Amino acid sequence: MRVEEGKKKRTAAEGKPKKGGLVSELLEWGKIIVFAAVAAFLINHFLIANSNIPTGSMENTIMAGSRVIGSRLHYTFGEVQRGDVAIFIYGYKCRNDGRVYRETEEGVCPDCGRADRRNQVIYYVKRVIGMPGDHIEIRRTGEVPAEEISKLPVRSESGMVPVGKLYVNGEEQEELYLPEPMLVDGAQFPEVDLTVPEDCYYMLGDNRNNSMDARYWGENNFVKRDKMLAKVYFKYWPLREIGPVK
């Protein structure tokens, strides 16, 4: 009887978790969590860029609400190419007054003087249209029936609307990624005639008729090389849109 009681005591003791074992297990989990956090930080800041597309400016290549992944390494070790869909720093949102502004040479908000590094970075996704030294033109070339324009409502008494084409270094570009003819009326949809400065790029949205892109950025309408973060390769959300970005 005493022997049986001894066995029961030993069995009960063996069933209790050891204090040292629990602490050791918690430490191991802590190491795993820290490692995962560091790995995620390094991957997201040095290898890939993950971006949400809140508007329809890149339709139909990338639809509003989609999420995309780009390669930071591509622009770290490789070159920007015409036609790339890229994630870049557009500017900053001032934490004092909420104003969004393009980067300034002084590195501060033009209204309140707060330093860029203390403000929220604003990222855009657009297509590289102009390379350094390129002569870029958007010319009005004709008219199409208004019903061919569906990305925004248009009114025309004649039933026709003015459209145009993109020219790079004098050559008309065949932009198969455009969802519809590009409106060019010389006012709301301006004609363009400019030369891209060295170390800069000219960026436009694929949905030209509803894209706030370089045509509307004023004098500071180019993106510098050091603001080009990643080449977009893949869209992963929503799942029905999953696939490569070209």
Average pLDDT over residues 69-97: 96
The pLDDT assigned to 182 comes to 98
In a domain, 54, yes or no: yes
Give the pLDDT of residue 192: 98
Q: Which pLDDT value is given to residue 130?
A: 99
CATH number, domain with residue 243: 2.10.109.10
Domain for residue 175, yes or no?
A: no
Residue 246 lies in a domain: yes
Residue 3 has pLDDT above 50, yes or no: no
Domain assignment of residue 153, yes or no: no
Which residue range forms the structural domain that includes residue 46? 18-130+199-246
> What is the pLDDT, as a whole number, of residue 105?
78
**Is residue 62 pLDDT above 60, yes or no?**
yes
pLDDT at 243 exceeding the cut of 90: yes
Q: Please, which pLDDT band fits residue 109 given cuts at 50, 70 and 90?
A: very high
Determine the Cα–Cα distance for residues 225 and 202; give it in Å rounded to an integer. Answer: 11
More confident residue, 46 or 81: 81
Has residue 181 been placed in a domain? Answer: no
Mean pLDDT value across residues 19-38: 76
The total domain count for the chain is 1
pLDDT of residue 27: 80
More reliable by pLDDT, 10 or 40: 40
| pLDDT value, residue 20 | 64
Burial of 233 (0-12, 13-18, 19+ CB in 10 A): middle
pTM of the model: 0.83
* Residue type at 220 in one-letter notation: N
Tell me whether residue 95 is in a domain.
yes
Q: Is residue 45 scored above 70 in pLDDT?
A: no
Q: What is the pLDDT of residues 130-154, one digit of tens each?
A: 999 999 999 999 999 999 999 888 8
Residue 148 located in a structural domain: no
- Asked, for residue 179, whether it belongs to a domain, the answer is no
